[in-house]
Amino acid sequence: MQISRSHRFAWYAGRHHDNVGHPRDKRNAARVKYADGYTATETMNYRHAYHAGNEADCLKHALLLLLLRALARKARPFFVLDTHAGAGAYDLGSAEAAKTGEAARGILRLIDNAPEPLADYLGLVESLGLYPGSPALIRALLREDDRLACCELHPEEHAALKRRFAGDRQVQVHHRDGYEALRGLLPPAERRGLVLIDPPFEKTDEFATLARGIATAVKRFPGAIVAAWYPVKLRPLVREFQADLQARRIPDIVTAELLLRPPQDPARLNGSGLLVVNPPYRFEEKASAVVGALRDALAGPDGMEEIRRIAPERFADGATA
Ligand SMILES: C[S@@+](CC[C@H](N)C(=O)[O-])C[C@H]1O[C@@H](n2cnc3c(N)ncnc32)[C@H](O)[C@@H]1O
């Protein structure tokens, strides 16, 4: 389905189904080599096609665009690592998207009523035709000498991603664990760029794994912008995650959150956030306009946006990560 303002989407049932896929379905099985060298076969049920275009995706991608625009302001080439890439782009007219109706509450609502702070993001989405996942969005911003490396573990998502970028000399597609790739692919020769970590949060210890992944990225690729998406179901889980990062003494961290409702029901995705290490100049101000516009367009009366600095630009003792 082509995305355009003129479309009407009456066929959305609007019911929420979570991820599908049978645990014994071999198509969902991936051989995973972990950062510590341990190897195991993992079942992967998460498919982003069911969630593409929802409110959380719009938040992540609109902020990601701010980060990419900042990188493109300087002439020196940059490198992007997308550790959990998905299929690359999505057809919002697919059976998967229709089953959940999530895009109708997110990107399709925005496209019909584009607020000014989101004009850049929505213009890009429209110009690309298919709804872009993070790889397609990042690819659209690469200049001639910039590079993108994507990791995806799910066999079918990886195959789709590989097809999408076949023959593209600026994009590498890896069938490997994105967390392990933080050690394997960093630092890049360019020495400037962005790491996006966007895990599916299928596992109960994902917040802890994510905090370790962020610390690894910061250590291996100093000066890089590191952006990590996280869900907000209950506030304490998020506070614990942020405290974990603060305890690691990683400087210069800002979080940008969009809450659709107060985070009180653990069974619902009540909101989400993007945590950014080494945010570019004036990111907080620009993020505030973007997230405020998303709140006005997508959240209910109890919705909220919050931009927060959770680690100072520099520690007084000069400590760096
Ligand atoms: C939330 S989706 C990614 C969406 C994508 N970043 C976007 O914005 O369009 C998470 C993806 O990570 C994949 N995945 C799960 N565990 C992984 C791992 N350890 N390494 C790489 N990919 C993984 C899943 O198959 C899924 O496609």
DSSP output for 274-290: EEEESPPTTHHHHHHHH
SS3 227: strand
The per-residue pLDDT for 17 is 31
Centroid of ligand 1 to alpha carbon of 315 (angstroms): 33
> How much is the pTM?
0.90
Report d(CA 22, CA 159) in Å as an integer: 19
Strand partners, 277: 226, 253
The predicted pLDDT at position 315 comes to: 87
Q: What is the Å distance from ligand 1's center to 116 Cα?
A: 30
Per DSSP, the residues of 5-49 read: TT---TT-----------TT-GGGEEEEE-TTS-EEEEE----GG
DSSP state for residue 321 in the 8-state scheme: -
The type of residue at 263 is P
Q: Do the Cβ atoms of 205 and 234 come closer than 8 Å? A: no
Of 44, 62, 41, 40, the C-alpha closest to 53 is: 62
Give every strand in the sheet of 304-311, ordered side by side: 171-174, 147-151, 79-82, 193-197, 225-232, 271-277, 253-259, 304-311
Residue 114 has a pLDDT of 85
CB neighbours of residue 63 within 10 Å:
25
Per-residue DSSP letter, 76: S
Give me the catalytic one of 36, 198, 252, 265: 198
Using alpha carbons, select from 177, 150, 185, 212 the residue that is nearest to residue 44: 177
Radius of gyration of the chain (CA): 18
Give the pLDDT of the chain (321 residues) as one tens digit per residue.
Answer: 556 544 322 222 222 334 434 434 455 666 666 555 556 666 788 999 999 999 999 999 999 999 999 999 999 999 999 999 999 999 999 999 989 999 999 999 999 888 999 999 999 999 998 999 999 999 999 999 999 999 999 999 999 999 999 999 999 999 999 999 999 999 999 999 999 999 999 999 999 999 999 999 999 999 999 999 999 999 999 999 999 999 999 999 999 999 999 999 999 999 999 999 999 999 999 999 999 999 999 998 999 999 999 999 998 876 655
Report which ligand 1 atom has the smallest distance to the Cα of 90: 9
What are the angstrom distances between the C-alpha of 319 and each of 29, 35, 250?
42, 26, 9
In angstroms, rounded to a whole number, what is the distance separating the alpha carbons of residues 18 and 33? 27
C-beta 276 within 6 A of ligand 1: no
Residue 311 confidence (pLDDT): 97
pLDDT at 31: 62
The pLDDT tens digits for 60-92 are: 999 999 999 999 999 999 999 999 999 999 999
* Superfamily per CATH, domain 48-311: Vaccinia Virus protein VP39 (3.40.50.150)
Cβ(222)–Cβ(186) under 8 Å? no
CA-157 nearest atom, ligand 1: 27
Query: In the structure encoding, which two tokens stand for residue 317, read together?
Result: 């003792």
- Note the pLDDT tens digit of each residue in 186-233: 999 999 999 999 999 999 999 999 999 999 999 999 999 999 999 999
252 is catalytic: no
